[in-house]
Structure formats: structure tokens, C-alpha cells
Amino acid sequence: MTASYTPSSVQTRTTFRQFVYMAVPLMLALCSTSLVGFCDRALLAQKALTDLGGYVSGFVLVYFFQVPLMRLTTVGQAFVSFYDSSLERHRVGISVWQMIWLSLLSIFIVVPVGYAVMPFAFGETTIQDSATSYFTWRLWGMFLFPLQMALSAFFIGQKRTKVILVTTLVAQCLHVALDYILIPSLGVLGAAIASLVDQSLTCFILFFLFLQKEQRELFGTGCYHLNWSVFCTQMRASLPVAIAPFISSFAWVITSRIMALNGGDYLMVFSIGSTLTVCVTFISDGLLQAVVASVSGALGKSDFSAIRRVVVHALSLLAITMLLLAIPYIVYPQSLFYLLSLNPEGEVLRWTCYLSWLYLLCQGIQWIGYGLVTATRQTSFFIFTGLLQWVTAFLPIWMTMWLWQCDAGIFWLLVSSNALIIGLLFYWKGRRLMGFITLQTQVKLANSQQPHDAYA
């Protein structure tokens, strides 16, 4: 029996295929970054668990600065994709340059704040020296995080994600080589140096491609001047997106300190679970960036029917990847423990692995909703969700892990519940915003089609 296809079904399948073609190269590029992070942690675990603990705690504080800075420039994808789809390509270059200037200027704020926060984050813990050493080196290269995202936004906004994939793979190969050379002798310091070289090379290659003659002529990438009007417009959209993770990440820094002070199973669950989750966040991050670019492009073309399909395709791709991840995380978790040189018989470790998979699923749901709201550039809602996570995440963790000293094994269950709650809120908000934008566009179209009275 021959199957028949309606035009709508063909269109849907094509849209899904296009979404996969855009999202998968992003995932692969981010996957290489995650695998390099796993390589860092595996080599440090073989050297000493104190080095791994120092790396994880130092990375949490890096994350505290990294994510808000990256979110500031990630919103640039929405502007690039919108301008490219609405045929205002001459505005793309100057838009990206404002985020480049923001990245460079961030040094003057981040470095002094970082030195002030270090004693609070690492003081009086068993991993103070290694965590301080790692974070200090990464602090001086912190501007590379938003710079890389600003340059990546130029290509992702045009759906040219293979450029990001190839560039990242080249830099990551160098990173791994440096890991094997430096970590055995320098420990966490070697991991920090390898990361800085990796990011510097990535930014250099992307910046070189960004300034090519073809890009200057088509997208105006030679317009490098700081334009306060454009800068402020993008900052108004970006600041709420950056403030929200700053608020929620501060809670994560305190959580890291609680688990480090408790020590024992608490520190092990936190360190191993963080390793198993951070190293696979390329799935949710890739989906986030693909959703932002796709939905922004649909808004630029006023193709509102495509937005629902983008979300469905993103959730479908998340389901496929999570089924694949279930093999090492749920069916054969021993394989992951062997890679980290851990005893695979521990009950706490097995539950940490199972709940890490659950957290990755919930985080993927959360990040798809996050991308939907980001694409609208109506981002003040993120501040509310950042504050809410002190209630939905930090408060339960503080009560169970610190006050009541409950079983450390439930830690990642609490974190997963928070991700799911925030994710559902993003979907609710995104749906409301899309309805408002659709109605606003219909009103403008109706007004433009009305005959004008010459004597009015």
C-alpha cells in the first residue's frame, strides 16, 4: 500500500529536517566542548579527588560569571536572525559589534568582583587552594565567553552553524592535547591554561571570518564603532536575560559551598553529578540556540504558524537524544564510573547517575521554553524566574542538605524538580507573548489596508 502525503505533512517534515540540520551542528560543537570538560574532570579524578573537587567548585564560580555574560551576547542571535529575515542585513554587523564591545568592557567589572567573591566561595574548605588557582586563571579570560557568543551569534543567526562546528572542533583538539600534557604535572592549573588557549583560538578564528570582505559588504561587519543607540536597545533586551542567571547562579554558588562544607557523600554527589550533567548540557544549549534563531526568523517573516512547529520539533529532538543518553546513564551506568576511575558498586553513585539523566531531561524542557521567550526579546520575565529559583531550588536544598542533613542522594531530584517548574513557566509565558505579538501584527496589517481619507 502506497502512503500518501498531504502538503502540510511534507512541509512539517521539511521543517523538522531543517531544524535538525541547524540544531545538530550546534549540538556537536557544544558536545566537543562538553567532552573536553569531561576529559578535564576524568584526568583530574585520576590525579586526585581533591583536584576534581577544586575544579568543580572553581567551575561553579566561573559559571556564576560566565552564564550572565554569555546571555548578554546570546540575545544578539535574535537581532541577527530578525534583521537577516526581514532583509535589513546592513544592520547585522553593527548589532554584533555592540556585543563585542560589551565583551571587552566586561573586564573592568568582572575581574575586581571576582577577586572579592573568591574568599567567600572557597574559604575554609578542603579544596580552597586548588579552586582558587583554577578560578583566578579563568577570571582573567572571562571576557572570552561573551566574545565567543557574540561572534557565534553572527553565524547562528544566519543558520550557518557548520562554521561554529568546524571552528570549535579545531580548538577543542588543541585543548585535549594540552590536557594530557599539562594536567598530570600542573593539575587544575593545567586545565585552566588549556581552556584559555582553546577559547582564545576559537575567538580568533571566528573574528577573522567575521571581518572577511564578503561579510563587510553584505552585513556591514566593518562598522566597528560603538553606537550608543543600538547598544542601549540591545542592552534593554539583554539585561533581564543576564540578570536572571546571575541571581539563580548566586544560589548555586552557595549550594556548592554547602556541599563542600558537608564533605563526604555530599561533596561526592555534587562533584560527580555536576560532571555527569555539565558535560552533556550541549543538548539543551544547542536546542536553546536553535529555537532562538528559528523563532526569531519566523517572527521576522511574521510566520506565526511556524513557531508551534519549532517547539514541537525541538521537543521531539530532545526526546530522541534523551533516549540515547539513557543507555549509559540508566542501562549501563558502570561505563561512566569506569571513565571517572570510581567504584561502580556504590548505591549513591548509581542514583546520582539516574537522577542526573532526569535533570538533563528537565533542563532540556526548560531551555526550549527559555529560547521561545528569548526570541520575542520581551525578556523582563527572566528576572522573575531568577528570583523564583531561590524558592523552588535553593530553599529545598538548604533545608534538606544543611538543616536536616538528609540523604545526599536526593540532591539531583530537587534540582530536576526546579528545572521542570521553571520550564513550564517559560512555556506559559512564551504562549502568552506569541498571542500578543500575533494580535499586534494583525492590528497593524488591518490598519495599513484601510483607505485613508485625504481630508482627515
DSSP string, 55-124: HHHHHHHHHHHHHHHHHHHHTHHHHHHHHHHTT-GGGHHHHHHHHHHHHHHTHHHHHHHHHHHHHHHHTT
Let me know if residue 234 belongs to a domain: yes
pTM above 0.75, yes or no: no
Q: What is the pLDDT of residue 446?
A: 62
Let me know if residue 228 belongs to a domain: yes
Q: Is the dihedral of CA 331, 36, 241, 443 positive or negative?
A: negative
Let me know if residue 341 belongs to a domain: yes
Which amino acid would we find at residue 65? F
Let me know if residue 454 belongs to a domain: no
Query: Residue 211 region, left (φ>0) first, then alpha (ψ -120 to 50), else beta?
Result: alpha
Cell numbers at 363, concatenated: 533542563
Which amino acid would we find at residue 144? L
Let me know if residue 355 belongs to a domain: yes
- Comparing 98-107, 270-279, 392-401, 439-448, the range with the smallest average pLDDT is 439-448
Residue 18's alpha-carbon distances to 12, 21, 161, 290, 321, in angstroms, are 10, 5, 12, 10, 17
Cell numbers at 95, concatenated: 548589532
Q: Are 318 and 293 in contact (CB under 8 A)?
A: no
pLDDT above 80 (res 243): no
Let me know if residue 445 belongs to a domain: no
From the centroid of its chain, how far is CA 36? 16
Let me know if residue 441 belongs to a domain: no
Give the span between the Cα atoms of 167 and 159, in whole angstroms.
Answer: 15
Segment 373-391 shows an average pLDDT of: 80
pLDDT above 50 (res 13): no
**Residue 227, helix vs strand vs coil:** coil
Q: What is the pLDDT of residue 295?
A: 82
| Predicted confidence (pLDDT) per residue in 144-174, tens digit | 988 988 888 788 767 677 788 788 888 888 9
CA nearest neighbour of 84 among 158, 19, 161, 150: 158
Give the structural domain span for 228.
Answer: 7-435
- Comparing 8-12, 163-167, 237-241, 431-435, the range with the smallest average pLDDT is 8-12
**Which pLDDT band, with edges at 50, 70 and 90, does 360 fall under?**
very high
Q: What is the pLDDT of residue 448?
A: 60
Instruction: Report the number of distinct structural domains present in the chain.
Output: 1
Let me know if residue 440 belongs to a domain: no
